[in-house]
Amino acid sequence: MSQTRLEKRFADLKEEGRGGLVTFVTAGDPDFETSLELVKGLPKAGADVIELGMPFSDPMADGPAIQASSLRALRNGMTLSKTLDLVRAFRQDNQDTPIILMGYYNPIYIYGVDKFLTDAKSAGVDGFIIVDLPPEHDDEFCIPTMEQGLHFIRLTTPTTVGDRLPKVLNNTSGFVYYVSILGITGTAAASDSATHEAVARLKAETDLPVAVGFGIRTPEQAAKVATVADAAVVGSAIIDKLRENLDDDNQAKPGLSQAVLEYVRTLADGVRGSRT
């Protein structure tokens, strides 16, 4: 089987001998046009993989920054099918940067799993992270995703120990996302040593690339993570930067995407400098 876009990206990173930067933004935050402009600019700013949040009314695993981001998008009319439109528009001039959709199961369930997978694949989506679908529910979405040749990426956490880990790694593809802390998005980062140990533990069990996220806010932190893991994931900190560029009505101020992309650039520089 030929390499998928996501596999190729991690293979290339390995070749370059550096860790990657995975960036999270919410699709449609604060509005469709601004969000598209921002996402389009991410590869040039140094994002190696784009995680795109599918807005949900009740994001139970997310902290205040991403909750608010999700609600802003929904208030401005974002829907799951518009998220796919956004991916389609992005793919018109980018064929290389993988896009992973991240979110919760209910909107997909309501859209219809089979129809959603067909539409997502044709839009140019590479994989999914669905927070509330543990291995116990693999038959529902994970298996159909794999049958479409798309990736189902699982979160592993500090509580994923013992015989739980093989269970979680099974049917995971593309990469493994290690959530370095117990908790929701946007809280404190884990210590370097804890992350180091956890990644080593994962690497002993899987050949998949390991990305580490939750709590990474600065280029220095991203750089450190990228020395021990295959990629660093940054989400809430990017969303915070976006929020700084909103007016009192939560609408985009001029220059929002440039400001956010400049910040992403500093993260990317950090990651790129990390192993030299």
Partner 1 sequence: MTTPNSYMNGPDERGHFGIFGGRYVAETLMPLILEVEKAYDAAKADPSFQKDYDYYAKHYVGRPSPLYFAERLTRELGGAKIYFKRDELNHTGSHKANNVLGQILLARRMGKKRIIAETGAGQHGVATATFCALFNLPCVVYMGATDIARQAPNVFRMKLLGAEVIGVESGTGTLKDAMNDALRDWVTNVEETFYIIGTAAGPHPYPVMVRDFQSIIGREAKEQMLEAEGRLPDQLVACIGGGSNAIGLFHPFLDDKDVAITGVEAAGFGVKTDKHAASLTGGKPGVLHGNRTFLLQDDDGQIQDAHSISAGLDYPGIGPEHSWLHDIGRVNYASASDTEALEAFQMLSKVEGIIPALEPAHALAHVTKIAPDMGKDKIILMNLCGRGDKDIFTVAEALGVEI
* Binding-site ranges for partner 1 (CB under 8 A): 56-61, 63, 67, 74, 79-80, 104-111, 131-134, 136-137, 154-161, 164, 168, 179, 182-184, 187
Nearest approach, Cβ of residue 48 and partner 1 (Å): 24
Q: Output 13 or 184, the one with its CB closest to partner 1.
A: 184
Question: Per-residue b/e over 43-61, b at no fewer than 16 CB within 10 Å?
Answer: bebbbbbbbbbbbbeebee
Nearest approach, Cβ of residue 69 and partner 1 (Å): 13
Of the residues 51, 126, 230, 240, only one is catalytic, namely 51
Nearest approach, Cβ of residue 207 and partner 1 (Å): 20
The answer to whether the Cα torsion of 275, 46, 21, 127 is positive or negative is negative
Of the residues 7, 48, 62, 240, only one is catalytic, namely 62
Does the annotation mark 51 as catalytic? yes
In the 8-state DSSP scheme, what is residue 248? T
Residue 152's DSSP bridge partners are 128
Q: Output 79 or 94, the one with its CB closest to partner 1.
A: 79
Give the integer Cα–Cα distance in Å for 224 and 201.
18
Specify burial of residue 131 (Cβ count, 10 A radius: 0-12, 13-18, 19+): middle
Inter-residue contact 204 to 237 (CB < 8 Å): no
C-alpha torsion 49→56→120→211, nearest 10: 20
Q: How distant, in Å, are the alpha carbons of 44, 166, 171, 269 from that of 264?
A: 10, 34, 31, 9
Q: Output 41 or 134, the one with its CB closest to partner 1.
A: 134
Q: Output 41 or 64, the one with its CB closest to partner 1.
A: 64
Nearest approach, Cβ of residue 181 and partner 1 (Å): 8
Q: Output 3 or 187, the one with its CB closest to partner 1.
A: 187
Specify burial of residue 266 (Cβ count, 10 A radius: 0-12, 13-18, 19+): middle
Nearest approach, Cβ of residue 164 and partner 1 (Å): 6
Does the annotation mark 62 as catalytic? yes
Catalytic residue numbers read 51, 62
